[in-house]
Structure 1
Amino acid sequence: MKIFVAAVLILACAYGALLLFARLFAERIIFPAPPASYSDDGDIIYLGLPGGGKAAALWIPAKDSKVCAIYSHGNGEDLGEIRPLLEEYARRGISVFAYDYPGYGLSSGKPSIKGLEESSEAAYRHVSEELGFEDSDIAVVGYSLGSAAACEIASRHPGIRCAVIIGGFSKAVKAVLPVNIIPWEMLDNSSKISQFKFPALFMHGRRDMVVPFRNALENYKAAPRGLGRLAEFPDRGHYGLPDSPKYWEEAVGFILSGGRPNRNDKR
């Protein structure tokens, strides 16, 4: 009996230590921002944030395009690193507006969940109010960490055109653990996806070891019936999806069409 009680106490202490660690260091783990990879050559837009901070942003219009994608990038990258990707979206007929979260690139402040949410909303406001796009012409695209920013915009603005979630997690904790052992939610994408009023495309590599494929399945299943589309990449991991022609076929086709209806949804 004493051994059992001791084991329970050890497990309880270990769990308590895990919770304390999560409270103190979770955001540092989620947001390891790299040094800026670019400089301001005159084309950087600065978005005002609550509290006086600024988020660096980039606008790349496509010729004769009436659709704009708000692109939220992944962790460990910034506008400088993703610029070729953004330019490819524009070359394929989709205007794109991208931004750096606080602490990333030339954005001020420190990385945080609050900063991610505030900068994503500032990006939406700029596209809507300054660039003049209607919600029905705005798509949100989020890769990896950016899936949380894309879902945040989508949850605030249910009238948008569609969402494209690439290598996205269902919950931040689930991205690394098979079960949610933390008793509070952090970046809960699947709950927001369940409230979507528009089509959503989920693209994910089957060999993803950073955000396991099960996250894509959970997000897809969370989407309202008929609104979700799942695109699997059997030979891809977390990185390099844009190197596949299928990436562009799926993402561009989905955005330009306003989201292909999924008539094969058997859930």
Structure 2
Amino acid sequence: MSKSNKDPKQKNVESGVKLFEEKSRKSVPANRSPTRQKSINKSLLSLDKTQEFSETSQKLKIDGENRSENHRNAVILSGYSSRRVQYKKNELEEGAVNVDADVVKNDRTLRDEDWFLEKIEKCRAKKLQRICVCPLPRCYRITDAFDRFKGTWHRVKHVVFVACCPPCCCIIQRSAFWPPRREYYFFKPPPDDVIIEVNDEAEAILMQNRKKKLKKLKKAKKCVIGEYYQFGLSHPCADDVKYVRGFVLKTKNKNKIGCVYVGCPDGFAPRFTLLYSHPNGSDLSDHLIGIPSLIDIARFYRCEVYSYDYTGYGISGGIASESNLYSDIQAIYEHITLEKRVDPKKIVLLGYSIGSAATIELLRHEQDQKPAGVILQAPPTSILRVIGGMMGRTKHLEKKTCCIDRFVTIDKIHEIQIPILVIHGKADKTVPVEHGKLICQRAITKVAPEWVPGAAHDNVENCREVWRRVRRFVKVELNLK
């Protein structure tokens, strides 16, 4: 076949390969020695590759030959705990943290605790941004407009869903769930698959073509129960999430949910097993590529981590509801204790926001297989009490629970017979710190709580006090060493 008759896609791939080969023949930049480059390529990096981009990507500007403007693709991480992934074509915003340069470069989580705690503090009150190295499409303005439309439609559709059912109890229950747009998928790499680490535009082109060939499993019902999958991100130039295995479970409510497992780093025996239940406005991808991530948790505490997406979140099927939420956490807890045969006395439960309601409900029914302890981060007393606080009511927390209220942790906490650690930010306006104090007051087996000054609802994990308090809780008060 002559060159003039080649498929445009084939030309694009060949040009990308050619550009990649030319770059690889060039000398190594001054800020990266050849020895260090080889060691990075041969050994496992200490941080997930989806959080590592080369310094060269910071300097890269996509200059369109036939365009009057220069553009840089900025990957914006925003939303719950600054993790929701949005892709926009613009420069880094003023006051934002450059993830490439300031946050994850040369990560020393295992070797330098102070450096890691400084890293998460740096993301406490700022938006995270990354430079994307995807080629700028010709119709990028149309693509951006269509992406914004999809985001708006997703929110409008959920608002209509919340308000469409007349009974107040259904509206209250549905208002507790705000699943974000799915940004990930599970996949099994083909035999000839080649792992690509994206650092520049040429590698981004190769990654785009590789992802087109993958069989993406975007719904849990298409996955096989009992099999492990790799975790991929939807953005064209995003690397696969390493050190994570995805799998699917079926709940007693007949829903299939997506779950992940993060093993203890460097082959160490895990000190304990952590079951993490995330907040209502995030999914698994947010807690695998954000800062801190579940991978950071596993490395800092030298533990193994399990987490899951609620019904209706991410790739999990079904519709989010209180009943489904409780069956979701029951399914993964049984998977850990029965199938994986993990000793319950080595399990610690961590519930964040609405995840604390699921955690407490699980403990009410696990009298024979009690875990070692439970951590509640920013726990709400109940949904109606949270809504009442948003409407300016101040004396509603101590009142008797209404019959239509949902997720009433305040009425269940006294049944828990294992150590309970309550963590809450003093600057939390979504779920005020009074909720955490009331729960701590009514708990029977509580330990000394942690009221974090200056921490809000969605950045309490970015405080060094929280990480140190959790470690002391596990090592000293639970004696898991």
**TM-score if structure 2 supplies the norm length?**
0.48
2:429 equivalent to 1:221: no
**In 2: Cα distance, 1:141 partner to 1:186 partner:** 20
Cα deviation for residue 197 of structure 1 reads: 1.0
1:87-166 equivalence runs, <5 A = 87-92=295-300, 93-158=302-367, 159-166=370-377
- Out of 111-120 and 58-67, give the one that drifted further: 58-67
3-state secondary structure, aligned to 1:39: strand
Compared CA separation, residues 250 and 58, structure 1 to 2 (3 A): same
- Out of 93-102 and 152-161, give the one that drifted further: 152-161
**In 2: Cα distance, 1:36 partner to 1:252 partner:** 32
1:94–1:252 Cα contact (<8 Å) kept: no
Percent identity between matched residues is 22
Match of 2:460 in 1: 241
**In 1: Cα distance, 2:175 partner to 2:332 partner:** 24
3-state secondary structure, aligned to 1:194: helix
**In 2: Cα distance, 1:172 partner to 1:255 partner:** 29
Letter in 2 for 1:89: I
- Out of 59-68 and 20-29, give the one that drifted further: 20-29
* Aligned residue among 284, 294, 297 for 1:86: 294
- Out of 61-70 and 209-218, give the one that drifted further: 61-70
**In 2: Cα distance, 1:51 partner to 1:200 partner:** 29
The 4+ residue runs of structure 1 with deviation greater than 3 A are: 256-260
Match of 2:262 in 1: 60
Match of 1:16 in 2: none
Match of 1:251 in 2: 470
Match of 2:247 in 1: 45
Letter in 2 for 1:163: V
Deviations 1:131-168, CA, capped at 9 Å, x for gaps: 21121111110001111111112222242100100011
Alpha-carbon RMSD across the aligned residues, in angstroms, is: 1.8
**In 2: Cα distance, 1:134 partner to 1:82 partner:** 25
Cα deviation for residue 24 of structure 1 reads: 3.5
- Out of 63-72 and 109-118, give the one that drifted further: 63-72
**In 2: Cα distance, 1:133 partner to 1:80 partner:** 25
3-state secondary structure, aligned to 1:228: coil
**In 2: Cα distance, 1:137 partner to 1:110 partner:** 32
2:172–2:405 Cα contact (<8 Å) kept: no
Cα deviation for residue 211 of structure 1 reads: 0.5
1:169–1:211 Cα contact (<8 Å) kept: yes
Cα deviation for residue 48 of structure 1 reads: 0.7
Gap runs ≥5 in structure 1: 1-19, 261-267
**In 2: Cα distance, 1:141 partner to 1:79 partner:** 15
Match of 2:84 in 1: none
1:161–1:258 Cα contact (<8 Å) kept: no
Gap runs ≥5 in structure 2: 1-165, 188-228, 230-244, 389-393
Letter in 1 for 2:315: L
**In 2: Cα distance, 1:174 partner to 1:242 partner:** 23
**In 2: Cα distance, 1:48 partner to 1:156 partner:** 19
**In 2: Cα distance, 1:170 partner to 1:57 partner:** 27
Letter in 2 for 1:105: G
* Aligned residue among 405, 414, 435 for 1:194: 414
- Out of 169-178 and 129-138, give the one that drifted further: 169-178
* Aligned residue among 262, 270, 275 for 1:70: 275
Letter in 2 for 1:88: D
Letter in 2 for 1:119: D
Deviations 1:65-99, CA, capped at 9 Å, x for gaps: 14111100001100110114211111021211000
**In 1: Cα distance, 2:271 partner to 2:339 partner:** 15
2:352–2:378 Cα contact (<8 Å) kept: yes
Match of 1:15 in 2: none
2:450 equivalent to 1:231: yes
Match of 1:22 in 2: 168
Cα deviation for residue 240 of structure 1 reads: 1.2
Q: How many positions carry a matched residue from both structures?
A: 240
Match of 1:169 in 2: 380
**In 1: Cα distance, 2:403 partner to 2:364 partner:** 22
